[in-house]
Chains A and B, each alone.
Chain A
């Protein structure tokens, strides 16, 4: 159904090709989060891998800095319908984390947990093989608290709500367990190219 009189402001062909359905391009960097930025002190910051309740391995900030670094450049897509092109991120890949912990992923799913009361679920297959990192830098500088610093999950091929801000750890789960938004009607997987915003999409 066409909306009477709606023409729209089309972006150039090359932009449209890079935009998943229902998205539009922004130049700024909008902020979406459920509450205030948590207060995080790097002196006490820890990042922990868990299997259920059991800790598998944990890193202090200094130990985390010593891990191999990965960089990524590309487009990011938020479920609130903005996309931002050519963003640059740097951090530690999920693969390098597991290698440093000398473990293989014990299950096929996990929940990424933040220092706030946020969590989100991601299949391990979407993190492994260089597809995701724990990012600490955006455009060459430490990630600002508003964008999830000191460290956030970064899974650029899924909607950005999967890239949990202020990451505290990753918890492997036996099943695919819904996180904060997924419990409230957001899609369990969240592929922007299939426009998987909400449960029924």
Chain B
């Protein structure tokens, strides 16, 4: 049996807000669960209006457990989005929201799971993969890993500078980045083959992004000979 956390709703305080890209903002939240999750997991966030009306959504944790007592969420502002709109237009440092978790043990990685570790992210789907990369960098930089990351443009890519810096300094970490709207191509059989050649055959694969991206990437990997049972997927929607 896998250890099951306590899913009570808890107050969390926003301690910092920073832009990540033109569409994505980072939120630091002070919460008791800050050191009690596995990279890749998400939290459920709940907002309550004056009259009791509520909305809930899921957000992946972007940070690795770092002893700060906080977690980082990275939220893309969607036009007309009920919850992401609140985070982008209304939320301020010092505000409290409710959250619970961590949730989603299947889509999570720790050093004991080993590698080679293949991460495939599209757009904001890189968020839970970033937590895995940060954790790997902090505690197990020797584990071979490769991030295949696709975003619309360089400017739309989340934490690309950080990821490039990691790939430059951490042994065994490679990055294949493709900007689909500025000359790069979408992830296809050739990109997947290049990733598998660079990394060697993975023992863990995590794919995250919008629904069509995840479906395409999963199919390409299975066609390239990766055992389906090694692949875990998470879809943000869209």
User: Which residues of A line the B interface, CB within 8 A?
Assistant: 1-10, 21-22, 24, 30-39, 80-81, 116-117, 146, 178, 180-181, 183-185, 197-201
Report yes or no: A33 in contact with B233, Cβ–Cβ below 8 A.
Answer: yes
- Judging by beta carbons under 8 Å apart, are A3 and B47 in contact? yes
Complex contact B56–A185 (CB within 8 A):
no
The answer to whether B7 and A201 have CB atoms under 8 Å apart is: yes
B7 interface neighbour in A5, A32, A37, A185, Cβ under 8 Å: A185
Q: Contacts A3-B97, A183-B1 known; A37 to B6 CB distance under 8 Å?
A: no
Given contacts A1-B48, A35-B231, contact A81 B58 (CB under 8 A): yes
Most chain B beta-carbon contacts within 10 A, residue among A4, A35, A178 = A35
Given A34-B232, A81-B56, A8 contacting B82 (CB threshold 8 A): yes
Contact of B96 among A1, A30, A35, A201 (CB under 8 A): A1
Number of interface residues of B (CB under 8 A): 49
Per-residue 0/1 for B219-238: is the Cβ within 8 Å of any A Cβ (1 yes, 0 no)? 10110000011011101010
A–B complex contacts, Cβ < 8 Å, 9 sampled:
A1-B11, A4-B96, A5-B91, A6-B90, A9-B80, A24-B82, A30-B211, A36-B233, A146-B215
Beyond contacts A9-B82, A185-B7, A200-B6: 8 other A-B pairs, Cβ-Cβ < 8 A, are A3-B86, A7-B49, A35-B231, A36-B221, A37-B215, A185-B5, A199-B4, A201-B7
- Measured CA separation A30–B47 after assembly (Å): 22
Instruction: Report if B139 contacts A (CB, 8 A).
Output: no
> Whose C-beta in chain A lies nearest to the C-beta of B108?
A184
Q: Contacts A9-B82, A10-B53, A180-B106 hold; do A3 and B232 have CB atoms under 8 A apart? A: no
Interchain CB contact under 8 A, A80 and B58: yes
Contact across chains for B8 and A200 when beta carbons are under 8 A apart: yes
A200 touches B7 (CB 8 A): yes
> Which of A32, A80, A180, A181 counts the most B-chain CB atoms under 10 A from its CB?
A80
Collect the chain B residues with CB atoms within 8 Å of residue A183's CB. Answer: 1-2
Alpha-carbon distance A3/B6, docked complex (angstroms): 22
B50 nearest in chain A by CB position: A2
* CA gap between A120 and B133 in the complex, in Å: 31
**Which single member of A6, A36, A37, A39 contacts B49 (CB below 8 Å)?**
A6
Cβ of A80 to closest chain B Cβ, rounded Å: 6
Let me know if A184 and B50 touch, CB within 8 A.
no
- The smallest beta-carbon distance between B236 and chain A, in angstroms, is 9
Contact call A2/B48, Cβ cutoff below 8 A: yes
Q: Would A8 and B232 be within 8 Å (CB), given that A80-B58, A185-B4 are in contact?
A: no
**CB of B95 within 8 Å of the partner chain:** yes
* Complex Cα spacing A1 to B237, Å: 29
> With A34-B106, A34-B232, A35-B233 given, is the CB distance from A6 to B86 under 8 Å?
yes
- State which residues 165-214 of B face A: CB under 8 Å: 211, 214
**B33 interface residue, CB < 8 Å from A?**
no
Contact B82–A35 (Cβ < 8 Å) = no
Closest to B220 in A: A36
Which single member of A6, A180, A184, A200 contacts B48 (CB below 8 Å)?
A6
Query: 1/0 per residue B122-156: CB within 8 Å of A?
Result: 00000000000000000000000000000000000
